[in-house]
Amino acid sequence: MQPLRTLSLWMDQLDEPLCARPALREDLDLDVCIIGAGYTGLWTAYYLKRQAPHLNIAVLEANIAGFGASGRNGGWLMGNLLGEDRLLASLSPQQRRASIDLLQGIPDEVHGVLQREGIDCDFRKGGVLYCAARYPEQERTLRAYLDDLYRQGMREEDYRWLGPEQLAAQLRVSNAYGAIYSPHTATIQPAKLVRGLARAVEALGVPIYENTPAIDWQPGEVRTPLARIRCQWMVPAVEGYAASLPPLGKHQLPVQSLLVATEPLPESTWQEIGLAQGQAFSENSRQVTYGQRSADNRLVFGARGGYRFGGRLREDFNLTEAEVELRRYLFSELFPQLKHVRITHTWGGNLGMARRFRPHMLCDRQRGIALSGGYGGEGVGATNLGGRTLAALILNQRNELTAQPWVLDNRPLSSLAGWPPEPCRWLGYNAIIQSFVHEDRTLANPASAPWRRRLASSLADFMEGFMH
Ligand SMILES: Cc1cc2nc3c(=O)[nH]c(=O)nc-3n(C[C@H](O)[C@H](O)[C@H](O)COP(=O)(O)OP(=O)(O)OC[C@H]3O[C@@H](n4cnc5c(N)ncnc54)[C@H](O)[C@@H]3O)c2cc1C
């Protein structure tokens, strides 16, 4: 097995020993059995146990807490939900505003828990900058996106346009056309969050059994290699690993995202670049890039990875030279001074993508199953909302958490949309991604004729339409 410290820069930075907690060796009778010790499972355990200390809860983890995406992500803790515009579309303006407030409050909610539990994960709420910084078309799409956000009920204090000079006060990129700034995002050190949460949950009296995969499950019962667990409620919180618990894999596809981190950069370089408040940033192309300045002054930068035929998980995240060089190329376009910088860490992870890119928080009361997922690469904050919501659903509360359009209460798992079978998924995914790559190459080339640029973007728009 891959040494745990090499899973990500974040795991490597931990100053705790990375040894597994004991595995489960005896049968259990539980109120709630949580499968997976990533953010979703741990937030659910946390909110449940705080509100209902009498509940008998345990967490089963196939590897160690934070082995999945929660210990490997880009550290953007966002106050939103993937595709929230579509999810909120049917609500009245007042309801929509209340939902937006709930989402935008996520970073502060997390911050409150960090303070209460003494978890230090380098939390900095510096907001996020979505930059038009590589080609002029990015400004057009970003401005259209901003108009859309205002139509949905966002206010200027939520999202605002920064011209090149205003952007330069926060971030200096070589070719700035402007940016959208939103204050509702924080950056964190992901592994410190997930490991700290695991300790907080244990301190509340929830045992975490590591090296304990769930190998079979049915309503009321989970089997691991050495034990059988009977439970009233089951919370499969395995996100990108959904295929390990059939039939979840039908509803949630594993896709990969890949990151690199530079060596710590000198203060003089950061004087040139900025990001002094720990802002998250991306350049607005369909390469899905995301970056942050880590607390120890590295540039951490990621971009979309891939999808494997049949939804096979990627286990080996030794990035190929081409994968590293694509990320170096993308960040060097923004920061040419970093073109030859030393990259010390490269890694990646599997994340879960729900059909139509709709995150969901589902409660099947008949079968005693509650699950939250399909965050699609925007799960660091969403998992906190998911944990709070699943706790409310299991405790049979009716409140603003359970009244949201992404909550499917009293619904069977089969009510989630399923992905089409192979080879359709693989062909579809690759056709879409190829159109994105083609668009990016065309637009990044200043010599591309205007008609070529328009054609490439129209094709990518058309292909993106299939994703929804
Ligand atoms: C490379 C990368 C970058 C990302 N960057 C960001 C970002 O910057 N911002 C953002 O908002 N989101 C980001 N995401 C997404 C975000 O990290 C995830 O949505 C979130 O961490 C999901 O948490 P989770 O607990 O649901 O799943 P995970 O963290 O994946 O946890 C699932 C756990 O279940 C365990 N498990 C799997 N199968 C079994 C089984 N059968 N039995 C027991 N245990 C099992 C796994 O070992 C794992 O520990 C990123 C994801 C990746 C991969």
Q: Looking at the DSSP assignment, which residues form a beta bridge with residue 281? A: 129, 291
Contact criterion met (CB below 8 Å) for 229 and 59? no
What's residue 467's pLDDT? Answer: 74
Distance, CA of 72 to CA of 205 (rounded, Å): 26
With CA atoms as reference, report the closest residue to 187 among 320, 59, 291: 291
Q: Looking at the DSSP assignment, which residues form a beta bridge with residue 259? A: 302, 347
Pairing assessment for the beta strands 160-162 and 178-182 based on DSSP bridges = antiparallel
Contact criterion met (CB below 8 Å) for 100 and 88? yes
Distance of CA 38 from the midpoint of ligand 1 (Å): 6
Q: For ligand 1, is residue 170 a contact (CB within 6 Å)?
A: no
Contact criterion met (CB below 8 Å) for 34 and 231? no
Single-letter code of the amino acid located at 124? R
Q: Looking at the DSSP assignment, which residues form a beta bridge with residue 187? A: 76, 124
Distance of CA 128 from the midpoint of ligand 1 (Å): 22
Distance, CA of 193 to CA of 203 (rounded, Å): 15
Name the closest-CA residue to atom 11, ligand 1: 378
Nearest atom (ligand 1) to Cα of 194: 29
Burial category of 235 from C-beta neighbours within 10 Å (exposed 0-12, middle 13-18, buried 19 and up): buried
CB within 8 Å of 271: residues ≥ 6 apart: none
Distance, CA of 185 to CA of 300 (rounded, Å): 16
Single-letter code of the amino acid located at 382? A
Contact criterion met (CB below 8 Å) for 59 and 263? no
Burial category of 18 from C-beta neighbours within 10 Å (exposed 0-12, middle 13-18, buried 19 and up): middle
Residue corresponding to tokens 């490439």: 456
Burial category of 3 from C-beta neighbours within 10 Å (exposed 0-12, middle 13-18, buried 19 and up): exposed
What's residue 1's pLDDT? Answer: 64
- Report pLDDT digits (tens) over 33-75: 999 999 999 999 999 999 999 999 999 999 999 999 999 999 9
Q: To test ligand 1's pocket by mutation, which of 184, 234, 239 has the most ligand atoms within 8 angstroms of CB?
A: 239
What's residue 464's pLDDT? Answer: 87
Q: For ligand 1, is residue 69 a contact (CB within 6 Å)?
A: yes
CB within 8 Å of 306: residues ≥ 6 apart: 255, 256, 314, 433
Distance of CA 268 from the midpoint of ligand 1 (Å): 35
- The 3-class SS string of the chain reads CCCHHHHCHHHHHCCCCCCCCCCCCCCEEEEEEEECCCHHHHHHHHHHHHHCCCCCEEEECCCCCCCCHHHCCCCEEECCCCCHHHHHCCCCHHHHHHHHHHHHCHHHHHHHHHHHHCCCCCCECCCEEEEECCCCHHHHHHHHHHHHHHHCCCCCCCCEEECHHHHHCCECCCCCCEEEEECCEEECCHHHHHHHHHHHHHHCCCCEECCCCCCEEECCEEECCCCEEEEEEEEECCHHHHHHCCCHHHCEEEEEEEEEEECCCCHHHHHHHECCCCCEEEECCCCCCEEEECCCCCEEEEEECCCCHHHCCCCCCCCCHHHHHHHHHHHHHHCHHHCCCCEEEEEEEEEEEEHHHCCEEEEECCCCEEEEECCCCCHHHHHHHHHHHHHHHHCCCCCCCCCCCCEEECCCHHHCCCCCCCCHHHHHHHHHHHHHHHHHHHHHCCCCCHHHHHHHHHHHHHHHHHHC
Pairing assessment for the beta strands 407-409 and 290-293 based on DSSP bridges = unpaired
Q: To test ligand 1's pocket by mutation, which of 238, 252, 304 has the most ligand atoms within 8 angstroms of CB?
A: 238
Q: For ligand 1, is residue 72 a contact (CB within 6 Å)?
A: yes
Contact criterion met (CB below 8 Å) for 180 and 171? no
Distance of CA 70 from the midpoint of ligand 1 (Å): 4
Q: For ligand 1, is residue 407 a contact (CB within 6 Å)?
A: no
Residue 190 tokens read as: 């992901």
What's residue 72's pLDDT? Answer: 98
Residue corresponding to tokens 């060097």: 332
Distance, CA of 134 to CA of 331 (rounded, Å): 10
Distance of CA 352 from the midpoint of ligand 1 (Å): 8
Low-confidence ranges of the chain (pLDDT < 70): 1
